[in-house]
Each structure stands twice: as C-alpha cells, then as structure tokens.
Amino acid sequence: MSINKETVKKISKLSRIASNEQFEDSMIKDLNSILTFVEQLNELNIKNIEPLSSVVEQKLFQREDVVKIMNEKEDVLKNSPHKNENYFVVPKVIE
C-alpha cells in the first residue's frame, strides 16, 4: 500500500491538522516508510491465530453503578479557553 497526496490531504482534514505542500510531501515520505516497515508483518502466516485484543492477562474491570462527584463544574470549566458561567463556549457550529 502506498500513500499519495490525496490520502494525506484527506487524513489531515479528518484530523483537523492544517497542511501545506511541504508538509504533505514530507508526510508522504514518512508514512510510506512506516507502512513499508509494518508491511513486513505480511510475511508471517497468521492463518490460525486469533487477533490479540490485549497483552494484559486480565479481565475487563467493571465498577458498580454508584454516583460519585469527582469534581465541581468550576474545575471542569477551568481549562476552557472560552467559557461563561455555565457553558463551554465555542465558535458557532450548526448544520
């Protein structure tokens, strides 16, 4: 698989990363070399091997359905660059 300019443009748009000609060219190079490296895995025969979901020999930890107040509204809003008394404020987004 090889990465072309269109793919890089699409990925940067989807991940909201601004791109320019120079950035795209360097990305094409980097991503292709990463993919080529990873593609070595294709040489292995994994026909009868189940995909590994985790390397941890452990079961999913589940918690009880109990409400705990971990922090107050002020703490949550504290890090927001733009807020008012109650809400996070963001540039208008509407369909």
Partner 1 sequence: MTEKEFDYYLEGQTGKWEVIIGLEVHAQVTSNAKLFSSSSTKFGSDPNSQVSLVDAAMPGMLPVINKYCVEQAIKTGLGLKAKINNFSKFDRKNYFYADLPQGYQISQFKFPIVGEGKVILDMPYGTKEVGIERLHLEQDAGKSLHDQDPQNSFVDLNRSGVALMEIVGKPDLRSPEEVGQYVKKLRSIMRYLNTCDGNMDEGSLRADVNVSVRKVGSTELGTRCEIKNVNSIKFMQQAIEYEAKRQIEIIEQGGAINQETRLFDTKKMETRSMRSKEDAHDYRYFPDPDLLPLELDQDYVDTIKKSLPELPDEKKSRLMNDFGLSSYDASIIISDQEISTYYEEVAKNSDYKLAANWMIVELFGILNKENKEIKDSPVSAKNLSKLINLIKDNTISGKIAKTVFEDMIKGDQDPEVIINKKGLKQQSDPKELEKIIDKIVQSNLDKVEQYKSGKDKLFGFFVGQAMKETQGKGNPKLINDILKEKLK
Pair 30, 3: CB distance under 8 Å: no
23 versus 88: smaller Cβ distance to partner 1: 88
- Binding residue (CB under 8 A) for partner 1 from 5, 13, 25, 33: 13
Using CB under 8 A as the binding rule, whether residue 17 contacts partner 1 is answered as no
Query: How far is 29 from 66, CA to CA, in rounded Å?
Result: 50
Token pair recorded at residue 31 = 């991503």
The reply to whether 60 sits near partner 1 by the rule CB under 8 A is yes
What is the C-alpha separation between 29 and 23, in angstroms, rounded?
Answer: 10
Member of 2, 6, 14, 20 binding partner 1 (CB under 8 A) = 14
Among 1, 18, 41, 67, binds partner 1 (CB under 8 A): 67
Distance of alpha carbon 81 from alpha carbon 3, whole angstroms: 36
CA atoms within 13 A on the CB side of 25: 2
For position 62 contacting partner 1 by CB under 8 A, the verdict is yes
Give residues in contact with partner 1 (CB under 8 A): 10, 13-14, 16, 53-54, 56, 58-73, 75-77, 79, 82, 84, 86-95
